[in-house]
């Protein structure tokens, strides 16, 4: 490996400086006035840096924002300005932003105001809604570094075209103003890289924001954006959302447009990256999905399937399967408590709860890892070796796994196809177990073993999330509660499922995790995005 000049450190420093220039000086809080709190989520509104109107705007749901702009209560410009200001503060607290382009966002907002003034109508159903977006979505005039130093100034002139999702959201009236930080190649469960460093968790800054959509959730959790977009190929929406009590929806591939996003593993199709909304509320999530799909993404992206947004009515009594512990890594106490809260809530409301076995989860999660590294890490290594940036420990397998032959890949794909058929049949067969003779509506289970984990203590176990990428099921993540050092005491355990289980048990520290997020996954069948949102609403109302 030849380290070329300028070294990766120099390039990274240059790129970081370029980003930092784009913050507005008048909004920057002097270091001495920044809080020394672990939980900074409430500090922003109490600190006095935001005006009452800025707070009112930034605490609103997407639908309310658009309605107030449409009714000329607020201008698109002042809405974007408020979110730029709040995002700037959130960034100082969590290091969540990768690309900062407030001026472009404000210009776009101004144009929307002019359009509205000139025509008397709004451009589309998202007219004036600021949208934050994960670093990998190409935006005209911005970089997509995806946490790789070599992409800092590559392409040199930045991207010339918006990703399809960005283009569509703009046509609907969405306003872009920031991109958010990710780990290297978006293939780590914590958000850190050699360009921007680590994004911290605003609920407890001793904990990681998770990854790979970590910048996005840190911003969202502090309402520096009314709605955001992340991606998920093994848990990258769900892990960070569950670490910050932000709602997310990992759709089935083919529901939302994916073309024009920079991939860490370009050309990989054995498992597909999907994107989905990250939102402070389910109302905002539904608003986003309905309008995006209403804009017929299948006419924009060749891989989107023509499935309109459908109205769903839930049965009055649902059948819910619960998986508490996957028998590979036992969740830590706050998560087990969260599962129990939801279970009790469901039972109390008269829904049927059955147990779910993690059959084949381990094999599914091993296969997905093999897919990730099936090119022997060649694509990632090519980019990192160009500048000499070293791998973080989580990325080590991309440097050590030998490249697979296509015949081996075919065999693995055939095995996966068989496993996903078996899973579907197990789901269908639950009708033999339920009282009403209908199969389960959803599985509820942890997204990770953690209520947030400190940096470098994730131990790379994504077995709670990654099986559902291979299965391609619709998965929502919803908040339940927060970790409490006085309740979530360390379990006494002598027997362990294995080494990772023991390490994670060993690491668990109720004091360290205090205040961390307790969120769970709600898993529906493929293409059940509407139903998953409705079920999350139901669960939210049961436990609130």
Q: Which residues are catalytic?
A: 134, 212, 236
407 near a second copy (CB under 8 A): yes
Phi-psi region of 527 (alpha: psi -120 to 50; beta: other; left: phi over 0): left
Question: Cβ 42 to a second copy, closest distance in Å?
Answer: 42
376 near a second copy (CB under 8 A): yes
Is 236 one of the annotated binding-site residues? yes
410 near a second copy (CB under 8 A): yes
The region of 281-289, 337-345, 346-354, 399-407 touching a second copy under the rule CB under 8 A is 399-407
Cα torsion for 305, 215, 447, 184, to the nearest 10°?
80
Question: Cβ 402 to a second copy, closest distance in Å?
Answer: 10
CA distance readout (Å), 81 to 49, 74, 444: 14, 11, 39
503 near a second copy (CB under 8 A): no
* Residues 61-80 within binding reach of a second copy (CB under 8 A): none
E strand or H helix at 340: helix 333-348
Question: Cβ 115 to a second copy, closest distance in Å?
Answer: 22
Computed on alpha carbons and rounded to an integer, the radius of gyration of the chain in Å comes to 22
From residue 286 to residue 325, the character string flagging contacts with a second copy as x (rule: CB under 8 A) and all else as - is ------------xxxxxx-xxx------------------
* Residues 509-528 within binding reach of a second copy (CB under 8 A): 525-527
Is 75 one of the annotated binding-site residues? no
**Who's near 447: CB < 8 A, 6+ residues apart?**
235, 238, 239, 241, 242, 464, 465, 477, 519, 520, 521
The token pair at 379 is 């694509």
- Residues binding a second copy: what is the number (CB under 8 A)? 44
Is 276 one of the annotated binding-site residues? no
Cα dihedral sign for 99, 104, 110, 112? Answer: negative
E strand residue ranges, 105-262: 130-134, 175-180, 228-232, 247-250
Nearer to a second copy, 343 or 438 (CB): 438
Among 233, 323, 471, 536, binds a second copy (CB under 8 A): 471
Bridge-based pairing state of the strands 352-355 and 319-322: parallel
Among 94, 98, 227, 374, binds a second copy (CB under 8 A): 374
Among 37, 73, 347, 414, binds a second copy (CB under 8 A): 414
Nearer to a second copy, 303 or 457 (CB): 303
Is 76 one of the annotated binding-site residues? no
Question: Cβ 17 to a second copy, closest distance in Å?
Answer: 32
CB 62 within 8 A of CB 129: yes
Nearer to a second copy, 27 or 300 (CB): 300
Nearer to a second copy, 253 or 450 (CB): 253
- Give, as one character, the DSSP assignment of residue 350: T
Nearer to a second copy, 333 or 467 (CB): 467
3-state secondary structure of 9: helix
CB 482 within 8 A of CB 461: no
Alpha carbons 97 and 219: distance in angstroms, whole number: 8
Question: Cβ 132 to a second copy, closest distance in Å?
Answer: 25
The token pair at 434 is 């339920």
Among 314, 411, 487, 489, binds a second copy (CB under 8 A): 411
**Who's near 354: CB < 8 A, 6+ residues apart?**
319, 320, 321, 322, 430, 433, 434, 440
405 near a second copy (CB under 8 A): yes
From residue 423 to residue 462, the character string flagging contacts with a second copy as x (rule: CB under 8 A) and all else as - is xx---x----------------------------------
Question: Cβ 434 to a second copy, closest distance in Å?
Answer: 16
The region of 29-37, 147-155, 373-381, 500-508 touching a second copy under the rule CB under 8 A is 373-381
Residue 261: beta bridge partners?
137
Question: Cβ 406 to a second copy, closest distance in Å?
Answer: 4
CA proximity to 127, closest of 64, 66, 61: 66
CA proximity to 178, closest of 118, 227, 120, 119: 227
CA proximity to 171, closest of 109, 107, 230, 126: 126
The region of 113-121, 343-351, 406-414, 460-468 touching a second copy under the rule CB under 8 A is 406-414
The region of 148-156, 369-377, 460-468, 514-522 touching a second copy under the rule CB under 8 A is 369-377
The region of 21-29, 167-175, 278-286, 374-382 touching a second copy under the rule CB under 8 A is 374-382
Alpha carbons 362 and 355: distance in angstroms, whole number: 18
Is 212 one of the annotated binding-site residues? yes
Alpha carbons 314 and 215: distance in angstroms, whole number: 34
Nearer to a second copy, 376 or 388 (CB): 376
Among 6, 141, 266, 390, binds a second copy (CB under 8 A): 266
Residue-wise DSSP of 288-332: HHHHHHHT-GGGT-TT------------SS-EEEE----SSSPPP
Question: Cβ 184 to a second copy, closest distance in Å?
Answer: 18
CB 76 within 8 A of CB 176: no
Question: Cβ 366 to a second copy, closest distance in Å?
Answer: 17
CB 291 within 8 A of CB 172: yes
Q: Which residues bind a second copy (CB under 8 A)?
A: 254, 259, 265-270, 298-303, 305-307, 374-376, 378-379, 403-407, 409-414, 417, 420-421, 423-424, 428, 471-472, 525-527
Give the annotated binding-site residues.
186, 212, 233-236
């Amino acid at each position: 490996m030849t380290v070329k000049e300028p070294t990766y450190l120099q390039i990274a420093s240059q790129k970081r400086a370029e980003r930092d220039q784009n913050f507005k000086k008048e909004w920057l809080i002097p270091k001495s006035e920044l809080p020394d709190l672990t939980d900074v989520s409430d500090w922003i509104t109490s600190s006095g840096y935001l005006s009452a109107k800025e707070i009112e705007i930034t605490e609103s749901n997407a639908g309310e924002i658009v309605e107030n702009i449409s009714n000329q209560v607020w201008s698109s410009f002042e809405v974007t300005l408020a979110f730029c200001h709040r995002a700037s503060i959130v960034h100082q607290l969590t290091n969540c932003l990768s690309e900062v382009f407030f001026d472009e966002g404000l210009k776009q907002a101004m144009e929307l105001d002019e359009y509205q003034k000139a025509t008397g109508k709004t451009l589309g159903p998202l007219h004036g809604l600021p949208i934050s977006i994960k670093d990998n979505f190409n935006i005209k005039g911005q970089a997509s570094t995806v946490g790789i130093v070599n992409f800092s100034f590559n392409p040199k002139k930045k991207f010339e075209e918006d990703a399809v999702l960005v283009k569509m959201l703009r046509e609907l009236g969405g306003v872009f103003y920031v991109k958010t930080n990710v780990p290297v190649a978006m293939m780590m469960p914590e958000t850190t890289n050699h360009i921007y460093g680590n994004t911290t968790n605003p609920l407890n800054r001793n904990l990681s924001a998770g990854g790979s959509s970590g910048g996005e959730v840190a911003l969202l959790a502090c309402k520096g954006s009314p709605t955001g977009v992340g991606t998920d190929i093994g848990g990258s929406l769900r892990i960070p959302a569950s670490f910050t009590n932000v709602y997310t929806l990992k759709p089935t591939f083919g529901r939302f447009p994916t073309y024009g996003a920079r991939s860490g593993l370009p050309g990989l199709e054995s498992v597909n990256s999907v994107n989905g909304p990250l939102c402070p509320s389910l109302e905002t999530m539904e608003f986003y999905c309905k309008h995006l799909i209403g804009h017929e993404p299948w006419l924009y992206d060749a891989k989107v399937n023509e499935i309109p947004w459908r109205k769903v009515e839930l049965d009055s009594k649902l059948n819910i399967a619960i998986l508490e512990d996957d028998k590979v890594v036992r969740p830590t106490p706050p998560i087990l408590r969260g599962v129990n809260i939801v279970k009790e809530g469901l039972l109390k409301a008269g829904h049927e709860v059955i147990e779910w076995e993690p059959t084949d989860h381990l094999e599914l999660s091993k296969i997905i890892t093999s897919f990730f590294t099936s090119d022997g890490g060649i694509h990632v290594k090519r980019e990192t070796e160009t500048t000499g940036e070293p791998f973080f420990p989580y990325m080590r397998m991309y440097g050590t796994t030998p490249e697979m032959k296509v015949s081996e890949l075919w065999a693995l794909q055939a095995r996966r196809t068989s496993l996903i058929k078996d899973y579907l049949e197990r789901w269908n067969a639950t009708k033999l177990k339920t009282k009403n003779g209908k199969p389960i509506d959803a599985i509820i289970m942890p997204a990770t073993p953690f209520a947030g984990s400190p940096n470098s203590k994730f131990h790379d176990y994504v077995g709670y999330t990654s099986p559902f990428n291979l299965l391609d099921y619709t998965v929502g993540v919803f908040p339940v509660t927060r970790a409490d050092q006085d309740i979530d005491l360390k379990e006494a355990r002598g027997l362990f499922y294995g080494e990772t289980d023991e390490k994670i048990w060993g690491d668990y520290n109720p004091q360290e995790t205090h205040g961390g997020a307790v969120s769970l996954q709600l898993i529906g069948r493929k293409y059940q995005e509407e139903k998953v949102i409705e079920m999350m609403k139901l669960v939210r109302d049961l436990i609130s």
